[in-house]
Amino acid sequence: KNLPPGPTPSSWLVGNRNQVPATKPWRWFQELNNQYGPVVYLQMGRTPTVVLGTAEAAWEVLEKKSPITSSRPRFIMGQEILSNNLRGLMSEVGPFWRRWRRVLHGSFMQKTSDTYKPIQSLESKQLMFELTQTPDKYREHIERYATSVVVVVTYGRRVYDIFNDEVVCLNRETQDFLTSINIPGKYLVESVPALLYLPNFLTPWRTAALKQRERDKEYLTRLVNEVKDKMDAGRASYSFCRQLIEDREKNDMSDLEIAYTCATPFGAGVETSAGSLSSFILACAAFGSSFIPKAQKELDAVVGPDRMPTFEDFDDLPFIRAIVNETLRWRPVAVLGGTPHKSTEDMVYRGMFIPKGSTIIANLWGIHLNPADFPNPHVFDPERFMSKHPNEKKFKTSRRAFGYGRRVCPGQYLASNSIYINIARILWGFNLSKARDQKGQEIDVDTFAYTDGFNSVPLPFPVSITPRSPAHLAIIDRENEIAQEEMKVYEL
Ligand code: HEM
């Protein structure tokens, strides 16, 4: 009887499941938190579900109680059938997940991520150049950047064309398949696991997933074999994959486990990084005049017009750092906090009982847009991060875009570095504002026009991106030429 408050279930069989809106459920969750308080209880079929709607509640439940709130719910279609239990992101806490997490930590912790800064810097120079050539295709250029960084870091090879590159097309196919089947309520087997015992000819939903599994196994293994061949030929640059192959015995990982683990950064790191940078561009179109002049003043004073900003400038660019934090807060790409957590023991939070086995969702949409923590939350205002947020010490409010507790994003340093270097350089080299129509009128942008789905990213929008001066343009050209030479080591 001490369950957290929440809306009355519509029936004992489905609970609140059919009340969840088919699109943008995070908005409904936010309304529930406004109505019932920071912790809301929903009964999703037979599964108790808790929605956390404030930074404080999420911190207390997912960070402080991390040892018992860091598992994952069962994903029968996505994890068990499609992935043969080999994708750590959907894996329950246990020996498999710990090993997976340890190897990811080894290759993506802050110190190791610093070694990826050179490739991030080079790829960012290409992005800058591409923005001078076809600014209207900013979205495609950002995606190419994010994809190439992740694929270089993972397999040691670059991506030139996101529409035709084989690694990209195959990974995208897998991701699309995964997204299409990981929809709560879509498959009865998720709430009635006994259906797993039915023979294959009665379960067409299983057949499609098993076919995709075979395709995944084949190409993921092939990508690892390519790295092995390069290692044998003595021309494999450092990569996550090479590291896993070298440490195979030490980590006691099978070939297939290595192949699936290598797929992790693509699945988790491309859309999130590209989506965050797109949100930054949207913020420039919508609110640019309120913060770009100050950012450019800072860049001109610290960096000057004769070179691009670098990672070494980071400490001297507090306003750019504030823009990075505000970008991650303003429109959290992992809008529902990434993959939900599951509690593994009964617990009580502020007198409310959270049963063992509850699905726990940290609704970042509600948390980041909570006016009590961030007044006028939908206004993009980097000034909020120019001084320490009163709750920074208590709940680390500035890094919540990367989740909580033992599941906190292992790619957060790689991602933050990408976001920093590109924001700093774009604001250094370009003026960004609303695009204009044929009559010269500014075209408004809708700051709520975002995709549905697991990650929420801006829908296409027009924006004007023009070099700040011929001198800036000349530097962008020159730096890109040098970068192209330096990136030749990553050619296939
Ligand atoms: C701006 C970019 C990114 C954002 C906003 C982001 C955000 C998140 C969030 C919110 C979670 C869920 C944490 C939780 O369950 O509490 C997560 C998990 C994860 N992220 Fe990221 N992420 C980003 C980029 C990356 C990159 C570049 C990688 C590459 C390695 C990555 C790898 C992962 C993995 C593997 C997990 C699952 C961890 C686990 O289940 O133990 N992410 N991320």
* pLDDT tens-place string over residues 4-55: 999 999 988 788 988 988 889 999 999 999 999 999 999 988 899 999 999 9
| Centroid of ligand 1 to alpha carbon of 402 (angstroms) | 6
Sequence-distant (6+) residues with CB within 8 A of 353 are 2, 3, 4, 346, 347
| Centroid of ligand 1 to alpha carbon of 263 (angstroms) | 13
Question: Average pLDDT of 109-131?
Answer: 97
Q: Which residue minimizes the CA distance to atom 3 of ligand 1? A: 272
| Centroid of ligand 1 to alpha carbon of 404 (angstroms) | 10
**∠ Cα 204 205 207 (to 5°):** 60
- Give the three-state DSSP class for 439: coil
- Whole-Å CA distances, 480 to 112, 114, 278, 306: 25, 21, 22, 15
Place of tokens 């960070």: 63
Q: Is the pLDDT of residue 472 over 90?
A: yes
pLDDT band at 187 (very low <50, low <70, confident <90, very high): confident
| Centroid of ligand 1 to alpha carbon of 272 (angstroms) | 8
Question: Average pLDDT of 428-436?
Answer: 98
pLDDT band at 492 (very low <50, low <70, confident <90, very high): low
Atom of ligand 1 nearest to the CA of 408: 13
| Centroid of ligand 1 to alpha carbon of 106 (angstroms) | 15
Mean pLDDT computed over every residue of the chain: 94
- Residues 362-377 have pLDDT tens digits of 999 999 999 999 999 9
Q: Is 262 annotated as a binding residue?
A: no
Give rounded-to-5 percent helix, strand, coil for the chain.
60, 10, 35
Query: Residues with beta carbon inside 6 Å of ligand 1?
Result: 89, 101, 104, 108, 264-265, 268-269, 272-273, 276, 333-334, 337-339, 341, 401-404, 407-411, 414-415
- Single out the residue of 428, 422, 423 nearest to residue 468, CA to CA: 428
**Cross-strand pairs, 42:** 49
pLDDT band at 143 (very low <50, low <70, confident <90, very high): very high
- Single out the residue of 88, 110, 108 nearest to residue 100, CA to CA: 88
pLDDT band at 393 (very low <50, low <70, confident <90, very high): low
| Centroid of ligand 1 to alpha carbon of 265 (angstroms) | 9
- Whole-Å CA distances, 319 to 302, 369, 459: 11, 21, 27
Atom of ligand 1 nearest to the CA of 341: 15
Residue 152 has a pLDDT of 96
Atom of ligand 1 nearest to the CA of 88: 40
Q: Which residue minimizes the CA distance to atom 31 of ligand 1? A: 411
Q: Which residue minimizes the CA distance to atom 1 of ligand 1? A: 273
Residue 14 has a pLDDT of 83
Q: Is the pLDDT of residue 188 over 90?
A: no
How many C-beta neighbours within 10 Å does residue 331 have? 28
